[in-house]
C-alpha cells in the first residue's frame, strides 16, 4: 500500500498518515461539492499549504452564511463526506455524530465525527466547524499538497489570519492554554516566512 511506503520513507507513523489521508479525502470531496464556497479551511490541516504539515485528527473550518444549527451542519458535512472521490475512502454513514463545542465562547461551533473505511482500516476523524468568527484578510483559494495523489484547492485562511488566530487563542487562554501546538505552529511558520 502506498501509505505504508510513505510511512517508511518519511519515518512518520502509518496510522498518523492514514488519518491525514482521510482528512485530505474530506478536502477533496469538499472541493468537488456544491458547498465548496461555504467552508473555509483553517487549523492544522491548512498548515500543509504553508509547508508546515503536522499530525492532527481533525480538520477545522469556518462556515460562511450558516447558522450554528447542529443538525444542519451535521447533514451538510455528512453529505460532503459521502461524495465518491475514487480514493479508496468510503464513509461509514452510521458513524456520523455531532456535538456543540466551545459553547462558552463568543463563537461556538459544531464538531462532526465520522469514520472513513480504507481497505480494512476504520479512520475516525473530526470536522470542526466554527460559525461567526471574523477573518481578515479575506479567505482565498489555497492549495493543500496531496500526500499521495493530486493537490486539493479549497478556500482557506491566509497565513496572516492563521498566525493572528493562533496568537489570540493562546493569549486568551493564558497559562491555562494546553494548546502549546499553537505556539509551535507560529514558530514553525516564522522560521519559514517573514511576517513583515
Highest mean pLDDT among 64-68, 107-111, 144-148: 144-148
pLDDT single digits (tens) 150-189: 899 999 999 888 888 878 877 776 666 556 777 788 788 7
Q: Which residue has the higher pLDDT, 118 or 49?
A: 118
Q: Is the dihedral of CA 90, 62, 154, 16 positive or negative?
A: negative
Tell me what pLDDT residue 174 has.
Answer: 66
> Where on the phi/psi map is residue 174: left (φ > 0), alpha (ψ -120 to 50), or beta?
left
Q: Which pairs count as long-range contacts for 147-152, CB under 8 Å and 24+ apart, including other chains?
A: 147/3, 147/6, 147/17, 147/20, 147/21, 147/24, 148/2, 148/3, 148/6, 148/21, 149/87, 152/24, 152/27, 152/28, 152/31
Please tell me the distance from the alpha carbon of residue 157 to that of residue 142, in angstroms, as a whole number: 8
**At a CB cut-off of 8 Å and minimum separation 6, what does 176 contact?**
none
Residue 9's alpha-carbon distances to 112, 148, 152, in angstroms, are: 32, 12, 22
CA 43 vs. chain centroid, Å, equals 6
Length of the chain: 196
Task: Tell me the sheet residues that pair with 118.
Answer: 89, 121
Q: pTM for this structure? A: 0.89
Tell me what pLDDT residue 178 has.
Answer: 56
Amino acid at each position: 500500500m502506498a501509505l505504508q511506503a510513505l510511512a517508511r520513507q518519511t519515518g512518520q507513523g502509518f496510522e498518523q498518515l492514514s488519518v491525514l489521508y482521510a482528512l485530505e479525502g474530506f478536502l477533496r470531496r469538499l472541493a468537488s461539492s456544491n458547498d465548496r464556497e461555504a467552508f473555509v479551511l483553517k487549523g492544522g490541516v491548512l498548515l500543509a499549504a504553508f509547508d508546515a504539515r503536522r499530525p492532527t485528527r481533525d480538520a477545522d473550518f469556518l462556515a460562511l452564511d450558516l447558522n450554528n444549527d447542529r443538525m444542519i451542519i451535521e447533514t451538510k458535512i455528512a453529505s460532503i463526506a459521502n461524495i465518491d472521490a475514487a480514493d479508496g475512502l468510503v464513509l461509514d454513514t452510521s458513524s456520523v455524530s455531532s456535538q456543540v463545542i466551545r459553547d462558552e465562547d463568543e463563537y461556538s461551533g459544531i464538531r462532526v465525527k465520522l469514520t472513513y473505511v480504507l481497505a480494512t482500516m476504520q479512520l475516525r476523524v473530526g470536522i470542526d466547524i466554527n460559525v461567526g468568527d471574523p477573518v481578515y484578510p479575506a479567505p482565498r483559494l489555497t492549495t493543500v499538497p496531496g500526500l499521495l495523489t493530486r493537490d486539493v484547492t479549497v478556500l482557506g485562511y491566509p497565513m496572516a489570519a492563521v498566525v493572528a488566530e493562533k496568537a489570540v487563542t493562546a493569549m486568551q487562554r493564558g497559562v491555562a492554554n494546553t494548546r502549546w501546538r499553537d505556539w509551535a505552529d507560529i514558530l514553525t511558520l516564522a522560521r519559514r516566512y517573514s511576517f513583515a
